[in-house]
Amino acid sequence: MGRIFWTGMGSAFLALGAIGVLLPLVPTTPFVLLAAFAFARGSPRLRHWLESHPRFGPPIQDWERYGAIAPRAKRLATALMALTLALSLLAGLPLRLLAIQAACLAGAATFVLTRPDGPRD
């Protein structure tokens, strides 16, 4: 895939991450990590800018150096996963779908919670 594709994907992921800064229910860090991944393949200049950004740079550096997720991001991610499952339950989704969703969210929460906190804490 070409540089234009990866730069476009990085821009789209960064836009979603920026929306997450403003809207509390939209995650920021996963989209910023995806943007960094895409920019590394499409635009080294944008990748450098993103790594140097005061808001977006530290989570990228923590993830790449230590595989770390900040405790605040862990709490927010797991709370949103629980909220998602609760809303699905309240919406009356079929039990089979709830079970699949619960299993997937439990796996994702386990992954997030078992990552190190990183050097900043």
Average pLDDT per 10 consecutive residues for the chain, totaling 121 residues: 92 91 78 93 94 90 90 87 93 95 93 86 48
pLDDT of residue 120: 58
pLDDT of residue 102: 95
Report in angstroms the alpha-carbon separations of 49 from 33, 35, 102, 117.
13, 11, 37, 24
φ, ψ of residue 114 to 5 degrees: the values are -90, 0
pLDDT of residue 29: 83
pLDDT of residue 48: 95
Q: Where are the domains of the chain?
A: 3-66, 71-113
SS3 labels along the chain: CCHHHHHHHHHHHHHHHHHHHHCCCCCCHHHHHHHHHHHHHHCHHHHHHHHHCCCCHHHHHHHHHHCCCCHHHHHHHHHHHHHHHHHHHHCCCCHHHHHHHHHHHHHHHHHHHCCCCCCCC
